[in-house]
């Protein structure tokens, strides 16, 4: 089977001023297969969102290649490729407030993609599709007439999820899409994402910091640190046999919902100030498990 | 000195919308003891953020406060914040006494201003401080919240930062005027666990040094376990259970709290499906009759559908609003899965 998405040696730099360039993503490579969930975790500011935004081409990659659906989408996009991309790849954004147009009703925010791709026969069908997806993400059809600011943080995040799911895309980039939800609704949304995956074999790039959830939902996981992929492997490999010191530090810091234990706990600090990742290479631990080493 | 620094009494808030009135806050009592950390957890949409916006005078224009008092104890004085004008709040309270970190960092940052200017702004307003000193302090704060290249980052605009960096800038702004009360609404949702742990330790340090009192809204029960002295559980505009962290985690009494604790996966979870509380939260466009949780509560009795339960006392610090605590109610067992979890601890 061919991978649905192939990211090869992706680099994404931002020039802030003449003498300050942020190297947000440095030679990151990974693949996602149809129907698979790839979890991306890592330090805040390590480039997770940037990778997502480069893949969906909100940025022009500084270097490297992105192959999606057997098409190279890293260079200039012709009209046809662009249309294919917009239909088959959706992103759920980290900041729900700034990604929802405040002047539009929820129905029109969710319906926008449907409108562009004429995905319904008549207005009644459009309303039905929207009511249906609202219900699936745990909102009510009555919410369709409200505006984004009239929602709680978690309700807004679900609007973003509904907007992505309603298009039936092949790849969904979900950037911290459940972090503002209470645990019960998180469970509901994650169950829904799994159901939809079973139904449509869509793939997820699941960016999150809640490691129990990432472990639960992901087939494979990539760990990012300072713009480098420092470790990647099957979900169980990463959790039962973490090799990179950053991965170890990350796992040691997962808070445990038990006050007696948690109030005493210390986590492993990883000081990386003297590490030069640029000259490290990926070492094979198993067929599926790789780690960046000197 | 008064034991509490902040005390909310019987707060009740409605929103007017095109489709009708939404009764979002239905009578809330909440205390923040001086120097302590109080967590608020609960269903998305249950009114956590709205309650805290009422404290800081930042409710949306379509809101109506039907009743309630919000007392802030400053020195020997007791001030009802709801009687102050927006201007008085801005000048005397917000920032220097009570500081809030909002849930959505982008809504509290100005996209057209550098983050340096935004961190120093409050210091200029509330403290007599020179530009150079304010900037030095801002850089220090950025370093404290774990932002590398702090000097260079001062010149960044919000969109040039990652989600978690923005969140940390908002925390730095909130700390910049050394407030007495810090209200954090999901302050670490966009942070990885290592940086989250650092930020929580930072707040704890400041708390120990300066006696800061903290209200912490979060969905992450692991975080609650780490920071909270007391926990308030909210459902449909009410606080339905309150207790010390130990009481809520090891001896929960409200069926909604049971559901919440059961829904949280841990690193051991590998079931096919995650547990989620069946049904959906009530639509507050229509005033619920009886207990708002009744339709989703498999232990609900006849009375639940008629009369909303009062707070029953379990201990000096532990209260829960469920008819199951009435002396005449049948004994019910904690859900087996949850019982196992609590026993495993
Ligand atoms: N301006 C408004 N107009 C109408 N309804 C509003 C407005 N602001 C909030 N609400 C409603 O009030 C209720 C409480 O919202 P609030 O933001 O306090 O929830 P929350 O507990 O913070 O949830 P979350 O965990 O999702 O952030 C929600 O049902 C929300 O839709
Ligand atoms: N549009 C931009 N202009 C300039 N710099 C940017 C831009 N977007 C991101 N960056 C920088 O790129 C780096 C990576 O940011 P990114 O948002 O990808 O991090 P992240 O891993 O998603 O972090 P978080 O977990 O905090 O959301 C950061 O140093 C950030 O400041
Ligand atoms: Mg991000
Ligand atoms: Mg909220």
Shortest CB distance from B245 goes to which of A155, A249, A259? Answer: A259
Q: Looking at residue B89, what DSSP letter applies?
A: I
Assess contact for A44 and B145: CB atoms under 8 A.
no
Share of chain B above pLDDT 90, in %: 67
Minimum distance, in Å, between the CA of residue B77 and any CA atom of chain A: 34
Q: What was the pLDDT predicted at A1?
A: 82
**Angstrom distance (rounded) from CA A52 to CA A38:** 12
Q: Looking at residue B52, what DSSP letter applies?
A: H
Chain A hits for B259, Cβ within 8 Å: 184
Q: What was the pLDDT predicted at A178?
A: 85
Assess contact for B204 and B227: CB atoms under 8 A.
yes
Average pLDDT in chain B: 91
CB contact B316 to A (< 8 Å): no
Which residues share a beta bridge with B28?
B11
**Residue A155 CB–ligand 1 contact under 6 Å:** yes
**ipTM confidence score:** 0.84
DSSP labels, A53-117: HHHTTSS--SEEEEEETTEE-SSPPPHHHHHHHHHHEEEE-S-HHHHS-TTS-HHHHHHHHHHHT
Q: What is the pLDDT of residues A117-169, one digit of tens each?
A: 888 899 999 999 999 999 988 888 988 999 988 888 778 888 998 999 999 99
Average pLDDT over residues B120-142: 90
Radius of gyration of chain A (CA): 20
Minimum distance, in Å, between the CA of residue A211 and any CA atom of chain B: 8
DSSP labels, A227-275: TEEEEEEEHHHHHHS--SHHHHHHHHT---S-HHHHTT--------TT-
Q: Do B196 and A253 touch (CB under 8 A)?
A: yes
Closest CA to A258 of B275, B343, B32, B43: B343
Which residues share a beta bridge with A284?
A290
Minimum distance, in Å, between the CA of residue A259 and any CA atom of chain B: 4
CB neighbour burial string for B177-203, b if at least 16 within 10 angstroms, e if fewer? bebbbbbbbbbbbbbbbbbbbbbbebb
- Reported confidence tier of residue B143, pLDDT bands at 50, 70, 90: very high
**Angstrom distance (rounded) from CA A27 to CA A226:** 11
Does A49 have pLDDT greater than 80?
Answer: yes
Q: What was the pLDDT predicted at A149?
A: 87
Does A189 have pLDDT greater than 90?
Answer: no
What is the position in ligand 2's atom list of the atom closest to the CA of A42? Answer: 21
Q: What was the pLDDT predicted at A209?
A: 86
Edge-to-edge strand list for the sheet holding B37-42: B98-101, B181-185, B213-217, B37-42, B230-235, B238-244, B319-320, B312-313
**If DSSP codes are grouped into helix, strand and coil, which group holds residue B271?**
coil
Q: What is the pLDDT of residues B300-316, one digit of tens each?
A: 999 999 999 999 999 99
Assess contact for B111 and B159: CB atoms under 8 A.
yes
Closest CA to B140 of B206, B89, B81: B206
What is the position in ligand 2's atom list of the atom closest to the CA of B167? Answer: 26
Assess contact for A144 and A106: CB atoms under 8 A.
yes
Q: What is the pLDDT of residues A242-274, one digit of tens each?
A: 999 999 999 998 888 889 888 888 888 888 888
> Which chain A residue is nearest to residue B63, measuring alpha carbons?
A150
Which residues share a beta bridge with B69?
B9
Q: Do A17 and B155 touch (CB under 8 A)?
A: yes
Q: What is the pLDDT of residues A204-226, one digit of tens each?
A: 999 998 888 899 999 999 999 99
Q: Looking at residue B251, what DSSP letter applies?
A: S
- Reported confidence tier of residue A80, pLDDT bands at 50, 70, 90: very high
Q: Do A49 and B162 touch (CB under 8 A)?
A: yes
Ligand of minimum distance to the alpha carbon of B23: 1
Assess contact for B293 and B236: CB atoms under 8 A.
yes
CB neighbour burial string for B46-81, b if at least 16 within 10 angstroms, e if fewer? bbbbbbbbbbbbbbeeebeeeebebbbbeeeeebeb
DSSP labels, B102-140: -SSHHHHS-TTS-HHHHHHHHHHHHS---HHHHHHHHHH
**If DSSP codes are grouped into helix, strand and coil, which group holds residue A136?**
helix
**Angstrom distance (rounded) from CA B217 to CA B12:** 19
**Angstrom distance (rounded) from CA A113 to CA A119:** 8
Q: What is the pLDDT of residues B318-343, one digit of tens each?
A: 999 999 999 999 999 998 888 988 88
* Sequence-separated contacts (24+) of B198-202 with Cβ below 8 Å: B198/B146, B199/B145, B199/B146, B199/B168, B199/B171, B200/B226, B200/B227, B202/B144, B202/B145
**If DSSP codes are grouped into helix, strand and coil, which group holds residue B69?**
strand
Pocket of ligand 2 (CB under 6 A): A 14, 16, 22, 24, 42, 44-50, 94; B 159-165, 190
User: What's the pTM value of the predicted model, to 2 decimals?
Assistant: 0.90
φ, ψ at A171 (rounded to 5°): -135, 130
Cα→Cα distances B78→B4, B65, B66, Å: 11, 20, 21
Shortest CB distance from A257 goes to which of B44, B165, B249? Answer: B249
Q: What was the pLDDT predicted at B176?
A: 92
What is the position in ligand 2's atom list of the atom closest to the CA of A51? Answer: 18
Tokens matching residue B219: 């969905």
Does B272 have pLDDT greater than 80?
Answer: no
- Reported confidence tier of residue B289, pLDDT bands at 50, 70, 90: very high
Which residues share a beta bridge with A107?
none
Average pLDDT over residues B5-31: 95
The structure tokens 């991965």 sit at A247
Q: What is the pLDDT of residues B43-98, one digit of tens each?
A: 888 999 999 999 999 999 999 999 999 999 998 899 999 999 989 998 889 888 99
Q: What is the largest CA-CA distance in chain B?
A: 68
> Which chain B residue is nearest to residue A178, measuring alpha carbons?
B189
Chain B hits for A42, Cβ within 8 Å: 192
């Amino acid at each position: 089977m061919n991978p649905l998405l192939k990211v090869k040696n992706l680099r994404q730099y931002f020039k802030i001023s003449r003498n300050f360039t942020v190297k947000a993503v440095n030679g990151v490579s990974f693949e996602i297969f149809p129907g698979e969930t790839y979890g991306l975790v890592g330090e805040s500011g390590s480039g997770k969102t940037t990778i997502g935004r480069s893949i969906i081409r909100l940025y022009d990659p500084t270097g490297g290649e992105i192959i999606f659906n057997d098409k190279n989408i890293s260079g200039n996009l012709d009209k046809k490729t662009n249309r294919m991309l917009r239909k088959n790849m959706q992103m759920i954004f980290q900041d729900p407030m700034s990604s929802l147009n405040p002047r539009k009703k929820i129905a029109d925010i969710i319906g926008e993609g449907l409108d562009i791709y004429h995905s319904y026969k008549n207005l009644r069908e459009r309303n039905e599709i929207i009511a249906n997806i609202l219900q699936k993400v745990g909102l009510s059809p009555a919410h369709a007439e409200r505006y984004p600011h009239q929602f709680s943080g978690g309700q807004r995040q679900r609007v973003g999820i509904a907007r992505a799911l309603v298009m039936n895309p092949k790849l969904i980039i979900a950037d911290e899409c459940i972090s503002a939800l209470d645990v019960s609704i998180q469970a509901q949304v994650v169950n829904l994402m799994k159901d939809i995956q079973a139904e449509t074999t869509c793939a997820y790039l699941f960016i999150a910091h809640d490691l129990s959830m990432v472990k639960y939902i992901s087939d494979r996981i990539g760990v990012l640190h300072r713009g480098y992929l420092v470790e990647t492997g099957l979900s169980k490999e990463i959790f039962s046999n973490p090799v990179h010191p950053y991965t170890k530090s990350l796992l040691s810091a997962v808070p445990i919902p038990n006050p007696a234990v948690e109030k005493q706990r210390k986590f492993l600090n990883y000081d990386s100030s003297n590490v030069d990742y640029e000259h490290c290479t990926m070492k094979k631990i198993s067929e599926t498990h790789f780690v960046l080493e000197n | 000195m008064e034991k509490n620094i902040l005390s909310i009494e019987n707060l009740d808030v409605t929103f007017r919308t095109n489709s009708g009135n939404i009764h979002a806050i239905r009578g809330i009592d909440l205390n923040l003891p001086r120097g302590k950390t109080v967590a608020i957890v609960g269903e998305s949409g249950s009114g956590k953020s709205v309650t805290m916006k009422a404290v800081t005078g930042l409710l949306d224009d379509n809101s109506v406060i039907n009743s309630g008092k919000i007392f802030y104890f400053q020195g020997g004085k007791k001030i009802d914040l709801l009687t102050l004008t927006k201007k008085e709040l801005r000048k005397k309270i917000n920032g220097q006494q009570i500081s809030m970190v909002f849930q959505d960092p982008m809504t509290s940052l100005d996209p057209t201003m550098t983050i340096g200017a935004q961190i120093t702004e409050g210091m200029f307003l509330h403290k007599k401080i020179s530009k150079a000193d304010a900037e030095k302090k801002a850089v220090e704060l950025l370093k404290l919240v774990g932002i590398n290249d702090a000097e260079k980052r001062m010149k960044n605009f919000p969109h040039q930062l990652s989600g978690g960096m923005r969140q940390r800038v908002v925390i730095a702004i909130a700390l910049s005027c050394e407030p007495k009360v810090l209200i954090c609404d999901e302050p670490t949702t966009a942070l990885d666990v290592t940086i989250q742990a650092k930020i929580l330790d930072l707040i704890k340090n400041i708390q120990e040094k300066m006696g800061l009192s903290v209200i912490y809204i979060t969905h992450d029960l692991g975080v609650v376990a780490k920071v909270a002295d007391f926990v308030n559980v909210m459902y449909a505009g009410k606080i339905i259970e309150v207790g010390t962290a130990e009481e809520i985690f090891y001896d929960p009494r409200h069926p909604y709290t049971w559901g919440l604790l059961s829904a949280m996966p841990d690193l051991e979870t590998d079931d096919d499906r995650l547990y989620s509380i069946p049904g959906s939260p009530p639509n507050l466009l229509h005033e619920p009759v009886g207990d708002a949780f009744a339709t989703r509560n498999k232990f609900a009795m006849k009375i639940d559908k008629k009369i909303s339960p009062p707070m029953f006392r379990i201990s000096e610090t532990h209260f829960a609003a469920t008819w199951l605590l009435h002396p005449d109610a049948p004994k019910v067992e904690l859900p087996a899965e949850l019982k196992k979890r609590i026993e495993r601890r």
